[in-house]
């Protein structure tokens, strides 16, 4: 049975049982606790906690999930995946254990002809929480499972939570026995490779508190209602129904491995280490495509770092398999072709996905090139010192700082006849992980307690009137402060105010919230911010400046008109800049985020490489041309599918409802899904001035601009600045660029002359150092502090000059600088000194600790830096002793 069919049967089964099908949420659902959605129930957490009331009592979904905690085990085992699909059925206070077990058993064991999966009931096992006698009794009654195929397990295995304060409860897991050829008898407790978990039924009934592990947390008490949350692993069911050994051999994953075989010339199944690399490619390619599809771009932290790491592991694994040419394009194409039946957006967004993935591969291949050079330097230093082991710290720096994979370091070390201190490397990696784990734990929080808003959310959404008016009569539904309802607030008091209707825009979609006022006879309230709760309830964060406000009062809610005018200019200007970007750079320059406020906008977009001056000028010109065209701004509400068919732009990672608001400016020039406020005609935006363009992550660029009056003020300031420069230079304004260029060139010439004079001054001291040479055995040694102010670059030049003055004599020159709190040093040995065994690279270890430094190099020259200038005398003494040991006293 194909994977797409497994998904379809699951949803059909539960829809027939009265469950509402709910689309998969984006992998980057807005949740402060999660980088990515990692379970099917995540989008339903507010329902389980009773913070919101769903419009349905039963739901079913197939949720996209990503878990990266076990990334190092991906490929090593056949049970770990980063991307997977979790099919689930959910009850919100409707049914409980009996129905959950009945639904699961029916789908698993019903015949294929009757819409089921056709699993052999005699090979199904179940587990239950230690004291869950009810679940065990139901398994016996409903499924007829004998006692020996039901196992009780502890909290770590059969009590489910998200790992943070939130909903939790005992669970019952369903396992399938693959047969004795896969392991020992004894059920899941004995062997979870033979007995594969395929479905987890969570009886969500409690709320947990803080804790440090799966079985170390406090149960705070029962949830408002008993709920059901189940998760069936689609990929695991697939490999069982397709009669293959593991998920990597299923219909949606094996094609990527086949492509890797084709590109590398290797065969999957012939070598364990190669198989690990094949599986890494197959797993990570799927995950990367799904992440990019949901709006993630490679970066140096957070979600972007995870994606970057996955893509780089693909490149690394392909290279280690022997694929010498770029291969990312082929892998992502296979993922698109296999996954698109369930995720058709992979087809419509493929150009963007492909561009980002291939761009990261290109960048990393360049990193591999530079990393190889760094490795060669490290290897040469080890060899020149007579050693055979590359330090774990060197391997760690290559990995952590330069992104050079440890596998390649090991491989290249072996080719060079060296080994790597893997224990030292692993130790440093472990320390880094512990720091990261502690940081992640510190950033984890319980879900924000929204209980105080629950009744207000259930009452219905706030009526937003701000599209049509700037002031509205409204009733105060609630006053809240410190997480509790209060009956009244008086002068000087900060308070959150919930109204039944409001013209003030709540922050969303990159547009900052409106500011404004609430008033009534004897009352004045300043609204400083407006935020949404559960995406439907407007909460006005306010300060009472005069009088007293009480729940139930009728007030006049007013938007500050100057703020709103500037805000609409900024938001509409954002749409115009977006349209210009797509026109100049192409359709793949899609929005990755934005911020707009009165007079200012910034627009993030997916694009590889910096913009040229010409492109920036063209974007500004096209934007202002569209502004001056006085396009009418039209808004309308339509179905999501119809809006997409019309070509409306959507923000990746955003979850939209069935009906969406479309803002259209100039027909095809700009058509976007947007819930913000806008001008009536494009000319009301006023001039748009592009301030600059920069990178905010790999493959993501940012344009910033002023609009309206702020644009005019900026241009006026620039004009005054230009006039001042022209006056100082005594030339007309249009001649300023040429005159400045001339001055810059003259300055460069002067700097070169100064540099030459300074270098000559440094070299003039060379002869004095020759005079300070001491004979140690058969070698002349110069070991001295460098002249004050000599930096690392000059130090190398000076040492080379001193060494050259010794001609064919055996001599070693070592100078130590002291500049800006650092102690740069350079050591150099003549050929004759090297012949008696004194090599520069091998001397550094003898004196480096004295100055708190490190370094390395080859036999003729080594360099590095320390941090303790007070240790220079000790370093010189240590160096003398080491030369004496080698060359004789």
Domain identity same for 77 and 108? yes
Domain identity same for 710 and 608? yes
Q: Is the pLDDT of residue 148 over 70?
A: yes
Does some domain include residue 745?
A: no
**How many angstroms separate the CA atoms of 715 and 735, rounded?**
19
Condensed to tens digits (0 to 9), the pLDDT of residues 506-516 reads 999 889 999 99
Residue range 454-476: mean pLDDT, rounded = 91
Neighbours of 47 (CB within 10 A): 23
Domain identity same for 527 and 573? no
Q: Point out which residues pair with 74 in neighbouring strands.
A: 77
Domain identity same for 70 and 195? yes
Q: What is the pLDDT of residue 775?
A: 92
Measure the CA angle with vertex 592, ends 588 and 595; round to 5°. Answer: 135
Domain identity same for 241 and 283? no
Domain CATH number, residue 843:
3.10.310.40
Does some domain include residue 519?
A: yes
Domain CATH number, residue 533:
2.40.30
Q: What is the pLDDT of residue 889?
A: 59
Q: What is the pLDDT of residue 653?
A: 56
Q: Which residues are annotated as a binding site for Zn(2+)?
A: 571, 575, 674, 678
Q: Closest by alpha carbon to 385, among 858, 885, 861?
A: 858
DSSP string, 343-408: -THHHHTHHHHHHHHHHHHHHHHHHHHHHHHHHHHHHHHHHHTT--EE-HHHHHHHHHTT---HHH
Cα dist from 81 to 85, 231, 422, whole Å: 10, 15, 26
**How many angstroms separate the CA atoms of 109 and 512, rounded?**
53
Instruction: Report whether 311 contacts 287 (CB < 8 A).
Output: no
pLDDT above 90 covers a percentage of the chain that reads: 58
Residue range 59-69: mean pLDDT, rounded = 91
Q: What is the pLDDT of residue 103?
A: 97
Condensed to tens digits (0 to 9), the pLDDT of residues 1-41 reads 999 999 999 999 999 999 999 999 899 876 656 788 888 88
> For 156, which DSSP code?
H
Listed range (171-180, 334-343, 746-755) with the worst mean pLDDT: 746-755
DSSP string, 288-322: HHHHHHTT----SSHHHHHHHHHHHHHHHHHHHHT
From 208, 233, 249, the end of a domain falls on: 249
Domain identity same for 46 and 176? yes
Residue range 412-436: mean pLDDT, rounded = 81
Domain identity same for 228 and 84? yes
pTM: 0.66
Residue range 472-488: mean pLDDT, rounded = 93
pLDDT band, very low/low/confident/very high, at 446 (cuts 50, 70, 90): very low
Does some domain include residue 559?
A: no
pLDDT band, very low/low/confident/very high, at 444 (cuts 50, 70, 90): very low
Strongest mean pLDDT among 49-63, 677-691, 855-869, 874-888 = 677-691
User: Six-digit token pair at 651?
Assistant: 């923000």
The helix (H) or strand (E) run that includes residue 258 is: helix 254-264
Domain that holds residue 483: 451-554
From 408, 443, 478, the end of a domain falls on: 443
**How many angstroms separate the CA atoms of 142 and 108, rounded?**
13
Domain CATH number, residue 620:
3.30.980.10
Going by C-beta distance under 8 Å and a sequence separation of 6 or more, which residues neighbour residue 354?
329, 332, 333
Domain CATH number, residue 19:
3.30.930.10
Q: Point out which residues pair with 635 in neighbouring strands.
A: 663
Does some domain include residue 740?
A: no
Cα dist from 386 to 46, 390, 838, 839, 859, whole Å: 64, 12, 11, 10, 10
Does some domain include residue 215?
A: yes
Does some domain include residue 737?
A: no
Domain identity same for 569 and 709? yes
User: Six-digit token pair at 48?
Assistant: 């389980």
Q: Between 856 and 680, name the one with better pLDDT.
A: 680
Cα dist from 835 to 541, 782, 886, 887, whole Å: 79, 18, 11, 10
Backbone angles phi, psi at 87, to 5 degrees: -85, 135
From 205, 223, 249, the end of a domain falls on: 249
Residue range 368-394: mean pLDDT, rounded = 82
Q: Closest by alpha carbon to 767, among 803, 809, 818?
A: 803
Q: Which residues are annotated as a binding site?
A: 571, 575, 674, 678
Burial 288-316 (b: 16+ CB within 10 A, else e): bbbbbbbbbbbbeeebbebbbbbbbbbbb
Domain identity same for 537 and 681? no
Q: What is the mean pLDDT of the chain?
A: 89
Condensed to tens digits (0 to 9), the pLDDT of residues 86-106 reads 999 999 999 999 999 999 999
In Å, how far from its chain's centre is CA 820?
A: 36
Sign of CA dihedral 324, 329, 331, 337: negative
Strongest mean pLDDT among 251-265, 362-376, 738-752, 768-782 = 251-265
Based on the number of CB atoms within 10 Å of its own CB, is 213 exposed (0-12), middle (13-18) or buried (19 or more)? exposed
Cα dihedral 489, 495, 499, 505, rounded to 10, equals: 150
Instruction: Report whether 357 contacts 328 (CB < 8 A).
Output: yes
User: Six-digit token pair at 288?
Assistant: 């990367």
Domain identity same for 298 and 432? yes
Instruction: Report whether 401 contacts 391 (CB < 8 A).
Output: no
Does some domain include residue 703?
A: yes
Does some domain include residue 299?
A: yes
Domain identity same for 403 and 537? no
Q: Is the pLDDT of residue 423 over 70?
A: yes
Q: What is the pLDDT of residue 397?
A: 80
Domain identity same for 95 and 18? yes
Cα dist from 3 to 103, 232, 242, 342, whole Å: 20, 13, 9, 9
Q: Is the pLDDT of residue 133 over 60?
A: yes
Q: Is the pLDDT of residue 158 over 70?
A: yes
User: Six-digit token pair at 501?
Assistant: 């209707």
Burial 86-116 (b: 16+ CB within 10 A, else e): bbbbbbbbbbbbebbbbbbbbbbbbeeeeeb
Name the domain count of the chain: 5
């Amino acid at each position: 049975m194909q994977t797409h069919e497994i998904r379809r049967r699951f949803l059909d089964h539960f829809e027939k049982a009265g469950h509402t099908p709910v689309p998969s949420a984006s992998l980057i659902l807005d949740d402060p606790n999660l980088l990515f959605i990692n379970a099917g129930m995540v989008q339903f957490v507010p329902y389980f906690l009773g913070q919101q009331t769903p419009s349905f009592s039963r739901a079913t979904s197939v949720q996209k999930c990503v878990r990266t905690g076990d990334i190092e085990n991906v490929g090593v085992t056949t049970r770990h995946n980063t991307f997977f699909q979790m099919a689930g059925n959910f009850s919100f206070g409707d049914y409980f254990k009996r129905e959950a077990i009945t639904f699961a058993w029916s789908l698993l064991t019903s015949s294929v002809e009757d819409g089921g999966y056709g699993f052999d009931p005699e090979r199904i096992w179940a587990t239950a929480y230690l004291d869950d006698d009810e679940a065990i009794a139901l398994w016996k009654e409903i499924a007829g499972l004998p006692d020996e195929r039901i196992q009780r397990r502890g909290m770590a295995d059969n009590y489910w939570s998200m790992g943070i304060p939130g909903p939790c409860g005992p669970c019952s897991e369903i396992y399938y026995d693959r047969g004795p050829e896969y392991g020992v008898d004894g059920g899941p407790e004995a062997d979870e490779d033979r007995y594969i978990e395929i479905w987890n039924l969570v009886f969500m009934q409690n709320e947990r508190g803080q804790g440090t592990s799966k079985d170390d947390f406090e149960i705070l008490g029962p949830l408002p209602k008993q709920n059901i949350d189940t998760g069936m692993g689609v990929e695991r069911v697939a490999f069982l129904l397709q009669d293959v050994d593991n998920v990597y051999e299923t219909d949606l994953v094996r094609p990527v491995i086949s492509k890797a075989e084709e590109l590398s010339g290797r065969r999957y199944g012939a070598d364990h280490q190669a198989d690990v690399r094949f599986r890494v490619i197959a797993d990570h390619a799927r995950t990367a495509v799904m992440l990019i599809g949901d709006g993630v771009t490679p970066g140096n932290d957070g979600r972007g770092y995870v994606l970057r790491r996955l893509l780089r592991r693909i490149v690394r694994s392909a290279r280690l398999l022997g694929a010498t040419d770029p291969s990312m394009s082929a892998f992502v194409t296979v993922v698109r072709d296999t996954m698109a039946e369930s995720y058709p957006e992979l087809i419509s967004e493929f150009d963007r996905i492909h561009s980002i993935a291939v761009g990261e591969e290109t960048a990393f291949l360049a990193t591999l090139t530079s990393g190889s050079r760094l490795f060669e330097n490290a290897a040469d230093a080890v060899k020149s010192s007579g050693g055979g082991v590359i330090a774990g710290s060197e391997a760690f720096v290559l990995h952590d700082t330069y992104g050079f994979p440890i596998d390649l370091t090991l491989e290249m070390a072996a080719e060079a006849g060296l080994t790597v201190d893997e224990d030292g490397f692993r130790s440093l990696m472990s320390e880094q992980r512990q720091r990261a784990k502690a940081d992640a734990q510190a950033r984890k929080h319980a879900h924000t307690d929204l209980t105080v808003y629950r009744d207000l959310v259930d009452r219905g959404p706030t009526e937003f009137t701000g599209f049509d008016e700037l002031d509205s009569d409204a009733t105060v539904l609630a006053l809240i402060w410190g997480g509790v309802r209060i009956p009244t607030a008086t002068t000087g008091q900060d308070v959150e105010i919930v109204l039944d209707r409001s013209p003030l825009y709540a922050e969303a979609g990159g547009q900052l919230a409106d500011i404004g006022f609430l008033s009534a006879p004897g009352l004045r309230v300043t609204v400083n911010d407006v935020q949404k709760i559960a995406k439907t309830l407007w909460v006005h964060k306010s300060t009472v400046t005069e009088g007293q406000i009480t729940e139930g009062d009728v007030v006049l809610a007013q938007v500050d008109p100057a703020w709103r005018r500037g805000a609409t200019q900024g938001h509409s200007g954002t749409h115009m800049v977006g349209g210009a970007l797509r026109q100049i750079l192409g359709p793949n320059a899609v929005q990755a985020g934005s911020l707009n406020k009165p007079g200012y906008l910034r627009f993030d977009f997916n694009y590889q490489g910096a913009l040229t001056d010409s492109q920036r000028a063209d974007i500004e010109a096209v934007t202002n041309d569209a502004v001056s065209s006085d396009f009418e701004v039209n808004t309308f509400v339509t179905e999501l599918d119809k809006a997409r068919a019309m070509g409306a732009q959507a923000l990746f990672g955003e979850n939209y409802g069935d009906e969406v608001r479309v803002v259209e400016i100039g027909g095809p020039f700009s058509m976007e899904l947007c819930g913000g406020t806008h001008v009536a005609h494009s000319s009301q935006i006023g001039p748009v001035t592009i301030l600059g363009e920069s990178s905010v992550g790999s493959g993501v660029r940012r344009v910033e601009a002023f609009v309206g009056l702020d644009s005019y003020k900026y241009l006026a300031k620039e004009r005054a600045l230009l006039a001042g420069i022209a006056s100082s230079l005594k030339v007309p304004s249009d001649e300023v660029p040429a005159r400045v260029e001339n001055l810059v060139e003259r300055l460069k010439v002067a700097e070169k002359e100064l540099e030459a004079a300074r270098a000559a001054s440094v070299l003039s001291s060379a002869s004095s150092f020759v005079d300070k040479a001491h004979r140690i055995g058969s070698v002349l040694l110069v070991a001295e502090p460098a002249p004050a102010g000599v930096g690392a670059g000059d130090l190398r030049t000076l040492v080379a000059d001193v060494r050259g003055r010794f001609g064919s004599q055996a001599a070693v020159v070592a100078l130590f600088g002291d500049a800006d709190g650092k102690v740069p040093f350079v050591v150099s040995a003549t050929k004759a000194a090297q012949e008696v065994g004194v090599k520069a690279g091998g001397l550094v270890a003898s004196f480096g600790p004295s100055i708190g430094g490190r370094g390395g190099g080859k036999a003729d020259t080594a360099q590095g830096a320390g941090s303790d200038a007070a240790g220079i005398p000790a370093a010189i003494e240590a160096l003398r002793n080491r030369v004496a040991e080698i060359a004789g006293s």
